[in-house]
Amino acid sequence: MRENVPWWKSGILYQIYPRSFQDSDGDGVGDLRGVIERQPYLRELGVDALWLSPIFPSPMEDFGYDISDYTGIDPLFGTLADFDALVAAAHDFGLKIVLDLVPNHTSDQHPWFIESRGSRDSSKRDWYIWRDPKGEGGPPNNWLSEFGGSTWEFDAHTGQYYYHAFLRSQPDLNWRNPEVRGAMHDVMRFWLRRGVDGFRVDVMWHLIKDDMLRDNPPNPDFVPGQQPYEQLIPLYSTDRPEVHDVVAELRQVIDEFDDRVLIGEIYLPPAKLVAYYGRNLAGAHLPFNFALISTPWNARAIAKLVDDYEAALPAGAWPNWVLGNHDRQRIASRLGTDQARVAAMLLLTLRGTPTLYYGDEIGMPQVAIAPDRVRDPWEKNVPGMGVGRDGCRTPMQWDETAYAGFSVREPWLPLSKDIALVNVATERQNTASMLSLYRALVTLRRARPELALGGYRLVSVADDLLVYAREHQDQRSLVALNLGMATISLEVRGHVLLSTFMDRQAEVIDGLLSLRGAEGIVIEP
């Protein structure tokens, strides 16, 4: 079915959290060899690219998002040889490899920062954001860390504060310094030369801060009980106009190599998000669109979101959609198992590149984590706010054995209590399982050019019913989704390509379609 379009445009991304995918060496933590072992499954699922959360050397205070060496592999995950073997195996299977690049900040154990904090005269002092105390010794401004507290940490040795948007052990790099930009560009080239097919850039909208470090204004909509970070509007600490020059330079490095992709993590409304495609589309190929995660699960809200996003896209820009990731509650728990099936059909039939999160294809739930098993530093820093991310990072459930086929010993995070039913081995045997539905949706998307590449047109929206058409040249599909639990009837003619109930294939509809509660259906008119 593939036409002459980039792979990231017609393909499907699959996010792997390496710590939790497959343990090959029996230490209770997933690793690169484990990903290699499970590549036949990924090929069977039908995805096109594997995005790996960070695998670089790290103290693991934020589980890899605090990097101490950008050009190595943490021994927990394996070696550079293991990584090279993974790339080779993936490419042999026809799969792409996308790395998670974290250029906004390093670990405080990175040699760059160790040198930077050594003295005010250090050659790398300006590689990070250092400022004198304000007034009688307070922090330089009022900026707040996303992980709680001030963004400023005082360093007694040099008498200045350094800036950290997240943990104090994650000092932010100074992207106004051309040496920093050059060093990170070289990091990208190191991995691109090893065969990686692109990068997902962590917190892309954070990369440049206000040059005058002005105070952020108070958030007039803040109410007690929200996360402390939301007390202020991050006007001067994120999404600065100059960031687009930085993104354009990252894209230039990507464009030095053939057939690679630049993806940006950007938690902004669609109207602001689309600016990250860059002038003349010379920015990120895919600025991640997370809006479905937070949009109310009703037909009108989703229809409006899609229309607004499509209208905001620059001419020629390619959309993308995300429903789950390593930072957000699992879909099956957020929406319920029945609507999670409808969500799968929505994600894989909207116009644009979809990203799947490991385990969502089998309906893995959010796992409740006992207080003594919490590992997430965000939850530890802001307890009781419900920000903990451990519950969506639990080990992949491969079978119903004691440790779900993930490991031979107790994993680093607890497993779900439902592994007897929600696991790959069991769901492979059930033609109506969540896994079978995902595989059918992926297969259908591959077989139907209009679903992979076609245009989107809203047909109707009312109450719990969302109906849209996908069209490409002379091929057309109609998607009808029931986002409620009551049966809905609609006028339509055609034959059924796929139902989320997996029981109506080839059924002919001649006038009146009865759409069951929490049913989605794809029809060829």
Catalytic residue list: 202, 256
Q: Point out which residues pair with 482 in neighbouring strands.
A: 465
Q: Within a 13 Å sphere around the CA of 63, how many CA atoms are in the beta-carbon half? A: 20
Residues 6 or more apart from 205 whose CB is under 8 A from it? Answer: 238, 239, 243, 264, 266, 267, 268, 276
521 burial type by CB count under 10 A (0-12 exposed, 13-18 middle, 19+ buried) = buried
Which residue bears the tokens 């690793």?
31
Q: Point out which residues pair with 511 in neighbouring strands.
A: 492
Closest by alpha carbon to 66, among 179, 184, 164?
A: 164
- Determine the Cα–Cα distance for residues 126 and 114; give it in Å rounded to an integer: 13
- Determine the Cα–Cα distance for residues 101 and 173; give it in Å rounded to an integer: 13
Q: H/E/C letters for each residue in 66-111?
A: CCCCCCCCCCCCCCHHHHHHHHHHHHHCCCEEEEEECCCECCCCCH
Q: Within a 13 Å sphere around the CA of 144, how many CA atoms are in the beta-carbon half? A: 19
Ramachandran sector of residue 412 (left: φ over 0; alpha: ψ -120 to 50; beta: rest): alpha
Which residue bears the tokens 């049913």?
519
Q: Point out which residues pair with 232 in neighbouring strands.
A: 218
- Determine the Cα–Cα distance for residues 497 and 484; give it in Å rounded to an integer: 21
- Determine the Cα–Cα distance for residues 379 and 391; give it in Å rounded to an integer: 11
